[in-house]
Amino acid sequence: MGLRPNLLTRRTAGVASTTLALLLSTAAVGVVPAASAFSAAPAGGCVEPADSHAHARVKAGAHVKHDPNELTAAQVREREADLTAALAERARFRVGAQASAPLAAVTIPVVVHVIQRDSTRAGGNIPDSMITQQISVLNQAYSGGTGGAPTAFSFQLQKINRVTNPSWHPIVSGSSAERSMKTTLREGGKNTLNMYLGELSDNLLGWATFPKKTLDKMDGVVVLNESLPGGTATNYNQGDTGTHEIGHWLNLYHTFQGGCSGQGDQVSDTPAEASPAYQCPTGRDTCTAPGLDPIHNFMDYTYDSCMSEFTPGQASRMLTAWNAYRAA
């Protein structure tokens, strides 16, 4: 199967080819503790801060120890209540004459931290060209240039920060080393996207934090370096792990959040989906509710070549969350 026509414009220059006929089994995924994401970390356990909400994307066929990656219904209710409260708080501030209006368009400054074991490509030293291509992929995806709904967001690379530190390579989700890395390196305010690129543990492609009212040094996204355009992560080397994880950073859930019941991902125009979709299963339909599974949505788990869109509802949700949490 070739690339979908509306993907060709952004996936040509410097992108390694993929073999979509390769059949890989589905996988368990997860990095979020099974307890409430708003609860404190267990003693001696995961060092993720309360309500950091790490979300992982894994390669098809990868295996990790457990599958608590999806938020529980209770965790979703907590997050949605927090969003409502944050919006109400912002509205109260806007009553005064000095209050700023909600933003309709946002340019996000991006600081990229390249975590290296040494100066070799195998040691994490990817070229600047892959990073600039990643920013290009983000701008096309979030502008609707690949066929989906346009969003309010564009991305502007501010800095590439190269760090050689073998103790941070590979990046291990939830580890004290991850906390040390982010606490040491993170730059900017709540509106600044910090991307950490490197080799990752447990076959993960990436993970992210959700927004919250107060800035936490753990805020940002972690992405497998070889998932950038032109990387070596077959089927996942066109830059859409970055697109996916930034979606979480902007407050989107997975399309399969909640399965076939309830409010799912809290977005009305993404059809319900019972479980993650892998590869590119055209015609997949796992719920009785109207609509085929949203396998082309950036917030599913399909191959990069299969992903092409956000929906208008997702675009609206991201902007609402930006004005609630990240706007100055």
Task: Just list the catalytic residues.
Answer: 245
Tell me the H-state helices in the chain: 73-93, 128-143, 176-185, 240-249, 312-321
What are φ and ψ of residue 112, in 5° steps? -105, 125
Beta bridge partners of 301: none
Q: What distance in Å separates the CA atoms of residue 89 and residue 150, rounded to the nearest whole number?
A: 28
Residue 260 is classified by DSSP as T
Q: What distance in Å separates the CA atoms of residue 307 and residue 64, rounded to the nearest whole number?
A: 24
Q: Assess contact for 204 and 31: CB atoms under 8 A.
A: yes
DSSP string, 74-133: HHHHHHHHHHHHHHHHHHHHTTSTTPPPPPS-EEEEEEEEEEESSSSTTTT---HHHHHH
What are φ and ψ of residue 251, in 5° steps? 90, 20
